[in-house]
């Protein structure tokens, strides 16, 4: 899905005309895809761009060792940046069991707890994308849902 997303965005979307595109899908899980000159880059084992099961970079003390992941590891990017991860983080911080759209709506309405949950999410996303930028040096990073 993420490879198709990256190629589609490079062809006629937000990254139209860009040489190197990293497409990010944030939803139930976290995926990434790479398009170079409008073509997918998959790698030898067809996992190029799949950054969701790398550890979250520069973890804060309260993020160690990180939530367990279905892949068997702890602290994967996906365990911090998926939709369910945002809901879990908000629940842990506030005691409120809300879905991500409700968290976003409350933040937009000025709710401080929801704003804090989104701020933590945004900082984690920035740290995770920093490694992509350092390795790929993409022209464009496109974010999408899944």
Percent of the chain whose pLDDT exceeds 90? 98
Residue 78 and residue 89 in contact, taking contact as beta carbons nearer than 8 Å: no
Per-residue model confidence as pLDDT tens digits over 81-138: 999 999 999 999 999 999 999 999 999 999 999 999 999 999 999 999 999 999 999 9
Query: In the β-sheet with 20-26, what is the strand arrangement from edge to edge?
Result: 39-41, 30-36, 20-26, 140-145
What residues make up the domain containing 12?
A: 2-145
- Number of domains the chain is built from: 1
Q: What CATH number does the domain containing 41 carry?
A: 3.30.420.40
- pLDDT, average across residues 16-26: 97
103: tokens are 């968290």
């Amino acid at each position: 899905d993420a490879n198709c997303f990256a190629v589609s965005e490079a062809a006629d979307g937000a990254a139209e005309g860009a040489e190197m595109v990293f497409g990010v899908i944030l939803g139930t899980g976290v995926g990434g895809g790479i398009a170079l000159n409008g073509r997918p880059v998959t790698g030898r084992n067809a996992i190029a761009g799949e950054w969701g099961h790398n550890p979250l970079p520069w973890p804060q003390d309260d993020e160690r060792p990180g939530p367990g992941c279905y892949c068997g590891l702890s602290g994967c990017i996906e365990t911090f940046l998926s939709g369910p991860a945002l809901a879990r983080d908000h629940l842990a911080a506030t005691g409120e069991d809300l879905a991500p759209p409700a968290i976003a709506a409350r933040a937009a309405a000025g709710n401080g707890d929801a704003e804090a949950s989104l701020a933590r999410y945004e900082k984690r996303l920035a740290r995770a994308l920093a490694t992509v930028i350092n390795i790929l040096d993409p022209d464009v990073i496109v974010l999408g849902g899944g």
